[in-house]
Structure 1
Amino acid sequence: MNLARGPLHAMAAIAVLSLGLTGCAGNDSTTTGATGAPAASGNASADGARADLAAAAAELQKGNFVFTATGHEEKTTGTMHLPSRSASLVVTSPDKEDGDSKMEVRLVDGKQYRLLLIETPEQDRVDPSELPPDFRSVYEALSGKFWMRMDTTKIKPNGRSREMRLDQPDISGASAMLTTVVTADRTGEVIKGTVDLSAVPIHNTPWVQSDITAMGSAAQKVPFEATLTGQRRLTRLALDLPATTDAPAHRRVIEIKDYDAAKPTTKPQGEIRDAPDETYDLLNR
């Protein structure tokens, strides 16, 4: 992620950071399994692979796992523990030139908390007291010095960053992508094929609509490689993504572990403030 330099541009980075959550918000509640367009061959091997992918997607919907996702200039880690009705996400983006960025989100007891950090280069730092009040509140919110208590009713459901929802427990986003399988072929524990990203609800991907549009027809046949255990649980999903407006062609990898063994997320320690209205303005762009 290449954030524009300067404190005012850094404030807008909160909207860019939120993209990591867009792709991890979970599976649409109407999704039932891997039900993409039928494979051309329609053979028993392909049907068996599809059934295994559907089973893997169902396992993720149980909401008890830990995952890591890596892609172009971004890393996301997360935990979903549905038994305690809690979850967490950490999105990081290193940038040697403009400073690293980080967003951490926790969902505990029905309340959402966020910590945001943009490490502004020393030459671009300013005294917050010199900024207009509305800019100052967001600049301080990006300091990473305190947590913000979010009013999720102020976050647009179709915006860049929507709240985590316990009724959509696959915060890895993997099961949503497995619902649009076009072709599938199994070799041992590995299933290879293609998925149609243009058919995945946009809020279940780490991209915005302009990214999918920029992929063109390539979005309809994105190569994937899924590794499943003998229990038909997904441990790794790799997608070979075509270039978009903002990123070159690259591989996105989601790794999942600790099924039925994730730990509950706890309420943040330290200072917690109510998120300023300006924060919602940026999140909802």
Structure 2
Amino acid sequence: MMQRTGTAATFRRVAALTTAVLAAPALSAGCGTGDGGSDPGASAPADPKATLLAAVPDEKDPAFRFSTVEGADKLTGVVDPGAHALELGMSEKIDDPEFTMNITFRLIDEDIWMRVKLTGAAGLHDVLKLPKRWMALDRTKLDDVSEIPVYDGADPANTAAIIRTAETVEDKGNGTYTGFADLADNVDVRNSFSGFDVATLGEAAKKVPFTAVVGPDGNLTTLTLDIPAVGKQKAMKLVTRYYDFGKAPKLTAPSGDQVQKAPASAYELLKD
């Protein structure tokens, strides 16, 4: 689950294009405590839904880590609300030729950098003409800027919008909350998912079970959606984790020999 639709799809497209390039005949031979949670010194809201929403990260929280899992897609990263910054990455193993691709984006306000790490075979970076350092991207040179991640607040998985669709939330004790989310409720919620199309669920999309856990520090730690099997859509769990509040590194712009301008080959990878 990501606020910006197409994020996971962007990673998959880059990996697929890289595979195609490497398979070309000419190349294959050569190759702490968050402030956004509930205040332990204040009276907790009586409504479980309000309590759960109060635990969702906001702009007052320190930097923290997150991960999202949608079927085979897993994104990991860091959110630094104070810097309006986001870092997210994805790893994918490719079979033919056999290698592993790690792609990381770092965003601070409107600035964006990308880093690609290719392992498993010698010379991959040279073949693809991709540096190992951070590459500063120029948004005006991107083929479709809507497919590139943006910093869109301290709740990258859009958990608050999803929780708000629940008519009621039940407090099960020990920081665990359950309810039913309406994934078809509005465009914002429907666009929170890149691993599947909400429309394929039909009426089932209006009552999707979820379980949320709030940690001792008052911060939301997990939100799990149990997507039912409908037609060709297999049952799956969508899991968001928020953790390491105040322990994750603050995000800053890469500098010095850590970064360079993105070459033309980087923009080619990001094309549709």
TM range, smaller chain: 0.5 to 0.7
Post-superposition offset of 1:163 = 2.1
Take 1:177 and 1:48, find their aligned partners in 2: how far apart are those partners?
17
Alpha carbons of structure 1 residues 155 and 202: separation in structure 2 relative to 1, 3 Å: farther
Take 1:276 and 1:94, find their aligned partners in 2: how far apart are those partners?
24
Structure 1 stretch 226-235 or stretch 269-278: which is displaced more? 269-278
Aligned residue identity for 2:92:
S
Secondary structure in 2 aligned to 1:79? Answer: strand
Secondary structure in 1 aligned to 2:237? Answer: strand
Take 1:117 and 1:246, find their aligned partners in 2: how far apart are those partners?
34
Take 1:161 and 1:109, find their aligned partners in 2: how far apart are those partners?
13
Alpha carbons of structure 1 residues 73 and 184: separation in structure 2 relative to 1, 3 Å: same
User: Which residue in the other structure is 1:170 paired with?
Assistant: 155
User: Which residue in the other structure is 1:184 paired with?
Assistant: 169
Secondary structure in 2 aligned to 1:181? Answer: coil
Question: Which of 249, 263, 273 is matched with 2:261 structurally?
Answer: 273
User: Which residue in the other structure is 1:195 paired with?
Assistant: 181
Unaligned runs of 5+ in 1: 12-46, 129-138
User: Which residue in the other structure is 2:236 paired with?
Assistant: 250
Which segments of structure 1 move beyond 6 Å, counting only runs of 4 or more? 118-122, 244-247
Q: CA RMSD in A?
A: 4.0
Secondary structure in 1 aligned to 2:74? Answer: strand
Secondary structure in 1 aligned to 2:68? Answer: strand
Take 2:172 and 2:69, find their aligned partners in 1: how far apart are those partners?
24
Secondary structure in 2 aligned to 1:171? Answer: coil
Matching of residue 148 in structure 1 with residue 135 in structure 2? yes
User: Which residue in the other structure is 2:203 paired with?
Assistant: 217
Secondary structure in 2 aligned to 1:62? Answer: coil
Alpha carbons of structure 1 residues 280 and 61: separation in structure 2 relative to 1, 3 Å: farther
Aligned residue identity for 1:115:
R
TM normalised by structure 1 equals: 0.63
Aligned residue identity for 2:103:
M
Take 2:93 and 2:260, find their aligned partners in 1: how far apart are those partners?
25
Number of residue equivalences: 231
Kept in 1: contact 2:200–2:233 (CA 8 A): no
Take 1:262 and 1:60, find their aligned partners in 2: how far apart are those partners?
16
Alpha carbons of structure 1 residues 54 and 264: separation in structure 2 relative to 1, 3 Å: same
Alpha carbons of structure 1 residues 228 and 118: separation in structure 2 relative to 1, 3 Å: same
Post-superposition offset of 1:235 = 1.0
Take 1:245 and 1:100, find their aligned partners in 2: how far apart are those partners?
33
User: Which residue in the other structure is 1:112 paired with?
Assistant: 112
Unaligned runs of 5+ in 2: 1-11, 24-45
Take 1:219 and 1:9, find their aligned partners in 2: how far apart are those partners?
39
Secondary structure in 1 aligned to 2:155? Answer: coil
User: Which residue in the other structure is 1:73 paired with?
Assistant: 72
Matching of residue 88 in structure 1 with residue 91 in structure 2? no
Matching of residue 8 in structure 1 with residue 20 in structure 2? yes
User: Which residue in the other structure is 1:37 paired with?
Assistant: none
Structure 1 stretch 214-223 or stretch 112-121: which is displaced more? 112-121
Post-superposition offset of 1:175 = 2.6
User: Which residue in the other structure is 2:193 paired with?
Assistant: 206
User: Which residue in the other structure is 1:50 paired with?
Assistant: 49
Aligned residue identity for 2:193:
P
User: Which residue in the other structure is 1:20 paired with?
Assistant: none
Aligned residue identity for 2:169:
A
Secondary structure in 2 aligned to 1:68? Answer: strand
Once the two structures are aligned, what percentage of the paired residues are identical? 24
User: Residue by residue, what CA displacement relative to the aligned partner does 1:123-163 show, whole Å, maximum 9, x if unpaired?
Assistant: xx8x95xxxxxxxxxx545xx63432122356699833342
Kept in 1: contact 2:77–2:89 (CA 8 A): yes
